[in-house]
Amino acid sequence: LATLREEGYTEMGAPMISYAEKKHREGKAEGKAEGKAEGLAEALVRLLERRFLLEPVELARVREVTDTVKLQAALDEIIEPGATRDSVLEKLA
């Protein structure tokens, strides 16, 4: 884009730069959301491993969840005194 500006593409430059900036911001936001979901999933996996005996396939399923609302609900559930393996995993469904 800097090359476009240097070469004098002012009319096309502004819309092209705006489009590029928009796409960059969208990509950055998407990356942050994915990172947040991965972090929540890993925290949940750690707690599940410490509290319950889960099969590797179940842990893999938890790691695949990308919905942060579901992951947060499962994290809230696992700290409840009466939480069970099934009650935590149900929050991810």
Q: Is the pTM value of this prediction over 0.95? A: no
**Spatial CB neighbours of 4, under 8 Å, sequence gap ≥ 6:** 12, 13, 16, 17
Query: What's the average model confidence in pLDDT over 28-34?
Result: 73
pLDDT bucket at 65, cuts 50 / 70 / 90? very high
Which pLDDT does position 26 carry in this prediction? 76
- Cα separation of 14 and 72, whole Å? 41
Residue ranges per structural domain of the chain: 2-90
Task: Encode 7-43 in three state secondary structure.
Answer: CCCHHHHHHHHHHHHHHHHHHHHHHHHHHHHHHHHHH
Cα 10 to the chain's mean position, in Å?
38
Which pLDDT does position 27 carry in this prediction? 75
Q: H or E stretch including 50?
A: helix 10-51
3-class secondary-structure state, position 54: coil
Mean of per-residue pLDDT scores for the chain: 85
pLDDT bucket at 31, cuts 50 / 70 / 90? confident
